[in-house]
């Protein structure tokens, strides 16, 4: 949690501050309209949605009037930033590994650049938790960078130059142990958790930075067990 509090606070180094400014522009001008298209395509009008790992809330101003959105994050700094962006927001400070919402309460769940920061075992737990809190036929939308995504390749190069060449030990995000390895890899994960895959999108709209995974809770499914 400490590393995420640092991520969502004002940075002291010029490099990190520049990264934050670029990230805001990217979220608001590229991710926000891309997210809106998927939300309006798949989420039930006026549905109750959970932004699971909401960060500073810079991507959903265009959809807050059409849906009831609950923002949830583990970082107090992220929650504080979200309050500054939204009027009268509905917020939970919590962990997506154990969501404090009762079974079958939500129409949809989405997040952006969150899943890759967890181990594979944790991802399985998160997907089962998403399954638990969704209503029958509920939808989850995940913006999840793949190993071959444009920003992943770019930052691998940047980190190599900074850390291997200039010996700086600088990183711009917490570790990402579970970027999407392949379509088959992510399909197996969502289906094992009790979802049917609706769409996997990897397109120019967000400059090939994310795979967008859309999955629907299977009727009558109770989610996968730990076997």
**Contact status, residue 127 vs residue 190, Cβ threshold 8 Å:** yes
174: three-class secondary structure by DSSP: coil
| Angle between helix 183-192 and helix 120-133 axes, rounded to 10 deg | 50
pLDDT of residue 19: 83
pLDDT of residue 227: 39
pLDDT of residue 221: 62
Say whether pLDDT at 116 is over 90. Answer: yes
State the average pLDDT over residues 114-132: 98
141: three-class secondary structure by DSSP: strand
- Return the higher-pLDDT residue of 100 and 10: 100
Instruction: Identify the band that residue 166 occupies on the pLDDT scale cut at 50, 70 and 90.
Output: confident
pLDDT digits (tens, 9 = 90+) for 1-50: 557 766 778 665 777 788 888 888 999 999 999 999 999 999 999 999 99
- Can you tell me which residue has the tokens 């990190």? 16
Closest C-alpha to 139, from 182, 196, 183:
196
CATH code for the domain defined by 2-217: 3.40.50.150
**Contact status, residue 109 vs residue 49, Cβ threshold 8 Å:** yes
Say whether pLDDT at 145 is over 80. Answer: yes
pLDDT of residue 223: 63
**Contact status, residue 50 vs residue 131, Cβ threshold 8 Å:** no
Report residue 12: phi and psi, to 5°. -90, -30
Share of the chain above pLDDT 70, in %: 93
Which tokens sit at 15? 């490099």
Q: Average pLDDT, whole number, for the chain?
A: 91
pTM above 0.85, yes or no: yes
DSSP 76-129: HHHHHHHHHHSSS-EEEE-BTTB--S-TT-EEEEEEES-GGGS-HHHHHHHHHH
pLDDT digits (tens, 9 = 90+) for 102-114: 999 999 999 999 9
> In the structure, how many helices (H) and strands (E) does the chain have?
7, 7
């Amino acid at each position: 949690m400490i590393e995420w509090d640092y991520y969502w606070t004002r940075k002291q180094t010029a490099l990190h501050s520049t990264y934050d400014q670029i990230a805001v522009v990217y979220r608001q001008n590229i991710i926000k309209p891309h997210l809106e298209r998927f939300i309006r395509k798949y989420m039930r009008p006026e549905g109750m949605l959970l932004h699971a790992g909401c960060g500073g809330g810079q991507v959903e101003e265009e959809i807050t009037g059409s849906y009831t959105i609950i923002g949830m994050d583990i970082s107090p700094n992220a929650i504080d930033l979200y309050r500054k962006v939204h009027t009268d927001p509905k917020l939970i400070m919590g962990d997506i590994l154990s969501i404090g919402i009762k079974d079958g309460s939500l129409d949809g769940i989405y997040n952006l650049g969150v899943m890759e920061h967890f181990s594979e075992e944790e991802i399985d737990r998160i997907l089962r938790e998403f399954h638990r809190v969704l209503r029958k036929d509920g939808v989850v939308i995940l913006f999840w960078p793949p190993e071959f995504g444009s920003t992943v390749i770019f930052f691998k190069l940047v980190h190599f130059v900074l850390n291997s060449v200039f010996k700086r030990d600088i990183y711009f995000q917490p570790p990402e142990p579970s970027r999407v390895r392949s379509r088959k890899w992510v399909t197996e994960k969502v289906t094992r958790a009790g979802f049917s895959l609706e769409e996997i999108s990897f397109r120019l709209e967000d400059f090939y930075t994310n795979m967008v995974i859309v999955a629907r809770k299977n009727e009558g499914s109770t989610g996968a067990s730990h076997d």
